[in-house]
Amino acid sequence: NAGVTQTPKFRILKIGQSMTLQCTQDMNHNYMYWYRQDPGMGLKLIYYSVGAGITDKGEVPNGYNVSRSTTEDFPLRLELAAPSQTSVYFCASSQEGLAGSGELFFGEGSRLTVL
């Protein structure tokens, strides 16, 4: 029962470096999301995808890129890391809005620090 798997769980980056956060789900969900959560704050939507080959921006997309080549995988790319991107990143998935309960299934999170 893997659900949503994120890697890595922890990472320290230097300013200007790039990296990719990996996310994969085994529930055959069409909808996938990337959120960031800053200390004491709620979740902010970065990007989301409604199916393979389709992605769209959320509330805070600047500095990030995504791709969705398969139903299972939804990687998040950070280009030119900045201290403002220090956060905990959560990947989530859900069933189709009309057919499903609307419940989001979350990964365990990836804690990123940019120094």
Q: Would you tell me which residues interact with other proteins (CB under 8 A)? A: 31, 33, 35, 40-45, 48, 50, 58-59, 90, 92, 94, 96-97, 101-104, 106-109
Q: Which residue lies nearer to other proteins by CB, 78 or 91?
A: 91
Q: Which residue lies nearer to other proteins by CB, 89 or 114?
A: 89
| Cα–Cα dist 7/54, whole Å | 22
- Nearest residue to 46 (alpha-carbon basis) of 63, 32, 30, 34: 34
Q: Which residue lies nearer to other proteins by CB, 79 or 103?
A: 103
Beta-ladder partners of 44: 36
Least Cβ distance, residue 4 to other proteins (angstroms): 9
| Cα–Cα dist 72/62, whole Å | 24
